[in-house]
Each structure stands twice: as structure tokens, then as C-alpha cells.
Amino acid sequence: MEVIQIREDYIKLGQALKAAGLVESGVEAKIVIQDGLVSVNGVVETQRGKKLTGGEIISFDGNEVRIEK
């Protein structure tokens, strides 16, 4: 499982997918999130602007990423 360290108060879901290298662009992030292919803590998330503050686990395409503050 990959870990993303955030320095700010939060990171948006679309930005986290890009930072983890799971998508190539913000447009791709938008598409996979809107299509219901991404889950946060086991729940499908369809808002790419969802704020992640630390402790969340993102799942996409067989990959998991943990957000840490």
C-alpha cells in the first residue's frame, strides 16, 4: 500500500489520485471518480473535490493508497 503524506490540512481526492500516480491527469481522475470506480474507506465516492484529511484509504483499480498527515 502506497502512502501519501500531506502537508496542508487536506488533499482533494482527484489530487490524491494524481499524486499516487494512479491517473495521468485531472481529467482522467474526474472520469474514474464520476464513473464510481474509486472508493474511500470502502465506500464509493463520486466527488473529486472530496477533502481527505488523513487516515483515509483510497481504492482504485486494485491499488490502495493511505493518506497520512
- The answer to whether the CB of 46 falls within 8 A of the CB of 30 is no
Instruction: For residue 24, give the DSSP letter.
Output: S
Give the predicted TM-score (pTM) of the model: 0.92
User: Alpha helix locations (H) across 1-69?
Assistant: 13-19, 26-34
Taking only the tens of pLDDT, the chain with its 69 residues reads 899 999 999 999 999 999 999 999 999 999 999 999 999 999 999 998 999 999 999 999 999 999 999
| Angular region, 54: left φ>0, alpha ψ -120 to 50, beta rest | left
Domains and CATH numbers, the chain: 2-68 (3.10.290.10)
| Upper half-sphere CA count for residue 48 (Cβ side, 13 Å) | 17
Rounded to the nearest angstrom, the gap between the alpha carbon of residue 50 and the centroid of all alpha carbons in its chain is 9
Q: What is the pLDDT of residue 64?
A: 96
Q: What is the pLDDT of residue 5?
A: 94
Q: What is the pLDDT of residue 1?
A: 86
